[in-house]
Chain A
């Protein structure tokens, strides 16, 4: 399963909008998937990402599934956000 983050917007900033995105993912694309499903999170096309948004989505996906890969993470805000989450939010991917 590949999740294209840009489908939820290209400027991903607030915690409430992250929550909304995760609810939509849970209802439509993550529903009934087994824990060992391979999940690819693709950041291509994302202009800005913050720890608040990502904590509501990326951290939760990483807690829910065992095989999560991050793709196209070159954007500076994506890099900075992932660094913060790995350091302070126990993100293991």
Chain B
């Protein structure tokens, strides 16, 4: 018997992973949550049939979303993470002793429950004492704050389903307001490759550009995401991602990473021409 998990990356492209068994399948009020055990990628978490993470490549995503803003502002004390029910982003942030508070806002409590049970590799992030988890809509949470956070990380799902509100202008504007004067927002920015993903990516970029004075995009290679070519947004009130990178100080921290390093930090902001062209439409 052969068991395969398949995700449609486009109407005409399928991505399949051979699965040993299904470990969990449950329905929350927001979405369907599944965990599979696979031969190639280890455990896989999917929401409504879309891969959120695999044990084998989650380090790329989580390191790139957490260390980029931190290496630019090593003084960050208070960090807000929106989405991130798997705990991977928090695990990376917890490596900074300078941070004294990490607030996590996840809409779906069930995702956290499932990850704690089946994915301790990422969910271990929640064990840190500095972490507080709030189960509510990210848009609702953030609009109440003003001048509160040093860094906001938007670790969202895709711009349809429960994560839709996290790709809107009102959300980015509210994040701007919730950030301090030297605050940085980093977000999951979709992919430039397939048409629908690229449209979502451009829309998100347009809205961020309208909301922040500094807005740059960086990339990483994530094998299990559509096309493997993935983008993140770096939006900020004061700091520039390359000029304000504190390479020496960061390296002195001796933080253990598998993907991120300070050379790659600068390199990740160098984008292919076709991506630059898409972004320029809105700058």
To the question of whether A and B form a pair in one complex, the answer is no
